[in-house]
Structure 1
């Protein structure tokens, strides 16, 4: 007995068997298949709800049970993912940003954009220099957004795009960066490469304020493993031995108000900022 498809990837693969070649999965379905981060509610909707399928405009809208049809595939790039055709990360970012108002915040779109840029940059094979604000990925997002004619959500997408950065390694790194930016801190360098006085590599910091020699490092769940914790501690000691100050960040420092305020105040002091000029909430 053949088991019915359960996961989103399984459902998409089964649906694709009878899907014409000039179709692609899009919107929430594409975002999840590509591994792009969505707010929990949208992620659940993508995993359990109908599949989003896009066709070319002159083919008409797809109408099949279990799917939401969209048109406009002719102006979008696509990619094959495990044999399934999906709209590419840059156009998926715009498509998700066109969802009806209130379903995503600007910060959500920055998180999604950072992840899309990372995926595009990794696929390009091009090295993105430390401190860069542009890359193949950011240019792809610009091209995708500005190639649309009056897209819904353009104001929010354009606002998010100003803050999207390359070299980001996780959604929580993005949210930590935005926490500082929203509070009025100087924007930190993302994934900054730190070297010693002789130019020898020391570390790559998540959020780096280079002139002040301050690093904020986000510690996700995987950092709790003893081997990883040992490596993190060794790196911190190495940086501190070369005159850098390191602040570890955890999810509670971003999401819990008392921890967030304390974290912002401590890092502000490390950076020599006047607390009266900041927006610490």
Structure 2
């Protein structure tokens, strides 16, 4: 018969806390307790990033904060799927302190140049500083568009004068940040108010093709002043709206509502063109989509970068 553990709280447990609960050292080594990291165990598997971070926090010095990709995940920022699966946790400490060297961690220094916030009870670099730190992740597969997607989310959450100003302030406060040019290029394209990463990526496709910049989630009113709709991408002068159709639009009821709304917009002289994920993938379909929008906007395709 397997030895029985005494009742223990769920979640991660440090060795010191286990001893305070009366757990003997030989019980600490029992297989029912899952190893999270050195001197931390758990009665249940720790799979979510905040669960793993909370476990490691029990073994880390109190002056450490989570940063870079780990901070981005804890903040809920959108990242490419491969980076969402990173096993190691990014942690950061002040320059004058020893770099964290622990299996399962990637140690950084420079916390004195970053603000610290709390996310689910964990010390985490601030939203704006986390976005700047993502510049260091460019070699790990993070591109300009990915930085814009994350930046749109941060700018929307933080607001402020000029909306993206907290990001600009955080970037300006750094001395020689890594991949500063990529960060600066992305920052110029960050816009607040975007509802989803797909909308950001759609906007960037039009930007890179040389289209005039649309309003993001612009409000459209009828000639009499009544509110009609909020368009994902609005070219107001040309009375054209681009609507990204994600999975939330798939149901028949939602499609019916969209059709009714688009009819009202059409009655007011607006042209509504739908966009799907496949329209944004490089290739013939994207070229065809861009040409359709160019015709609606009365743009000369020869002056655009459609390929």
Q: Normalising by the residue count of structure 2, what TM-score does the alignment of the two structures yield?
A: 0.82
Aligned partner of 1:87 in structure 2 is 125
Matched, 1:147 2:185: no
Q: CA RMSD in A?
A: 1.7
Aligned partner of 2:136 in structure 1 is 98
Aligned partner of 1:56 in structure 2 is 94
Q: Tell me how far apart the structure 2 counterparts of residues 9 and 255 of structure 1 sit (CA, whole Å).
A: 33
The structure carrying a bigger helix percent of its residues is 1
SS in 1 for 2:85: helix
Aligned partner of 1:182 in structure 2 is 208
SS in 2 for 1:52: strand
Name which of structure 1's ranges 139-148 and 218-227 shifts more when overlaid on structure 2.
Answer: 218-227
Matched, 1:202 2:243: no
Q: Tell me how far apart the structure 1 counterparts of residues 178 and 116 of structure 2 sit (CA, whole Å).
A: 21
Matched, 1:193 2:231: no
1:78 to partner: Cα distance: 2.1
1:222 to partner: Cα distance: 1.6
Match of 2:70 among 29, 34, 40: 29
* Unmatched tracts of structure 1, length 5 or more: 129-133
Q: Tell me how far apart the structure 2 counterparts of residues 171 and 109 of structure 1 sit (CA, whole Å).
A: 11
Matched, 1:20 2:61: yes
Give the length in aligned residue pairs. 266
Aligned partner of 2:5 in structure 1 is none
Match of 1:10 among 47, 51, 57: 51
Q: Which structure would you say has the larger Rg? A: 2
Write the mapping of 1:100-139 to structure 2, written as runs, cut at 5 A: 100-101=138-139, 103-121=141-159, 134-135=162-163, 138-139=164-165
Q: Tell me how far apart the structure 1 counterparts of residues 136 and 229 of structure 2 sit (CA, whole Å).
A: 39
Q: Tell me how far apart the structure 1 counterparts of residues 217 and 174 of structure 2 sit (CA, whole Å).
A: 31
Report Cα offsets for 1:106-135 as digits up to 9, x if no partner. Answer: 2221112112212323xxxx7x9xxxxx31
Aligned partner of 2:246 in structure 1 is 220
1:100 to partner: Cα distance: 4.9
1:102 to partner: Cα distance: 6.7
Judge conservation of contact 1:217–1:248 (CA < 8 Å) in 2: yes
1:226 to partner: Cα distance: 3.1
Q: Tell me how far apart the structure 1 counterparts of residues 272 and 254 of structure 2 sit (CA, whole Å).
A: 17
Aligned partner of 2:197 in structure 1 is 171
Name which of structure 1's ranges 102-111 and 49-58 shifts more when overlaid on structure 2.
Answer: 102-111
Q: Tell me how far apart the structure 2 counterparts of residues 58 and 233 of structure 1 sit (CA, whole Å).
A: 61
Q: Tell me how far apart the structure 2 counterparts of residues 16 and 150 of structure 1 sit (CA, whole Å).
A: 29
- Greater relative contact order structure (CA < 8 Å, 6+ sep): 1
1:256 to partner: Cα distance: 4.8
Match of 1:260 among 283, 286, 291: 286
Q: Normalising by the residue count of structure 1, what TM-score does the alignment of the two structures yield?
A: 0.89
1:153 to partner: Cα distance: 0.3
Aligned partner of 1:65 in structure 2 is 103
SS in 1 for 2:181: helix
Q: Tell me how far apart the structure 1 counterparts of residues 128 and 285 of structure 2 sit (CA, whole Å).
A: 34
